[in-house]
Structure 1
Amino acid sequence: MPIQGKVAKILQNDEIVINRGRLDSVKPGMTFEIFAEGGEEVWDPDTGETLGTVEEIKAHAEVTEVKDRLAVARLRMNQQSPMGVMNLGDMQEQLQKMFGQMFGDDVRVQGFGAGQNDDDDDLESMLGGPLKDLSKIQVGDVVREVNVRRKSSGF
């Protein structure tokens, strides 16, 4: 059975703290995958019924330090994601470049809440609140051990 826990803290230098440690059998060198809790619901195109949920892996992390009740792990970002590791700021910058080329440099892509005038119509106000960047690792994201080694049954 793989060890599962949550991101308890995000440290500098691309490291996270996992809420599982030596008492939970975590060891240095173990690899964990990180994903948002709940996943994305998938619907059957023929019947319209839900088929269940799938998890989008945000990153992998390798354990570098273990204490009794926590582990520190270094992140390895998931390059398989359709957007890679692009966050909202990067997306806004790319949109600004595209719109500038198409419509001229006077066109401005509204920001996502950073210093914006409350009267401006930006994406956050249109959607009714702050946007959460789902591509970034966040406290509370689920971590699950990968490459689980099974004990030999002796056969």
Structure 2
Amino acid sequence: MNEKMKIAKIISTKQVVINAGSNAGLKSGDKLEIIDKFGTDPVIDPDTGENLGTLDLPKGQLTVTKTYPRMAIAESPRKSSLPSVYNGLPGFPTVQKDLNVDPEQITGGFPKPSGEQIKVGDIVIKRS
């Protein structure tokens, strides 16, 4: 997946559309991360003095729920409303956290950590 993925549309406080889909290798269940910006403070190797790069500043986590050839719908992760030991177990209620989206950019159209709001054009990366 060499192309840069970005937020293409904000459906709601829980769902967004990514400008990459099955043609780019995305599939339902893939974990994504919205990046505020790529850090500017370099990490320096203490032994060699080499610049190792910068750390990404994350805005939010996503899970791909539906793919199309050139786009995908992704949403905020669901978590159990009970203690973490119950997370992911069938039959236990889950809650879905709101994404910190810019409310003016919510356009709907589909059934329903930096502190910066998520906006159309934000970079999205696939997590391993």
Deviations 1:98-141 (A, max 9, x none): xxxxxxxxxxxxxxxxxxxxxxxxxxxxxxxxxxx962111111
5+ residue gaps in structure 2?
Answer: 44-50, 79-98, 102-113
2:15 matched to which residue of 1? 15
Number of equivalences: 89
TM-score between both structures, scaled by the size of structure 1: 0.48
Residue 32 of structure 1 aligns to a residue whose secondary structure is strand
Alignment of 1:1-155 (within 5 A): 4-37=4-37, 39-42=38-41, 52-76=53-77, 135-147=116-128
Task: Give the whole-Å Cα distance in 2 for the aligned partners of 1:66 and 1:33.
Answer: 17
The structure whose residues are more often helix, as a share, is 1
Q: Percent of pairs identical after alignment? A: 30
Task: Give the whole-Å Cα distance in 2 for the aligned partners of 1:76 and 1:86.
Answer: 13
Deviations 1:11-45 (A, max 9, x none): 114111001011111110001011124x231168x
Contact conserved, 1:7 with 1:141, CA < 8 A, in 2?
Answer: yes
Superposition RMSD on alpha carbons, in Å?
3.1
The structure whose residues are more often strand, as a share, is 2
Residue 23 of structure 1 aligns to a residue whose secondary structure is helix
Higher alpha-carbon Rg: 1
Deviations 1:58-91 (A, max 9, x none): 11100011111000000249xxxxxxx889xxxx
5+ residue gaps in structure 1?
Answer: 45-49, 78-84, 88-132, 148-155
Name the CA shift for 1:3/1:29 in 2 (closer, same or farther; >3 Å).
farther
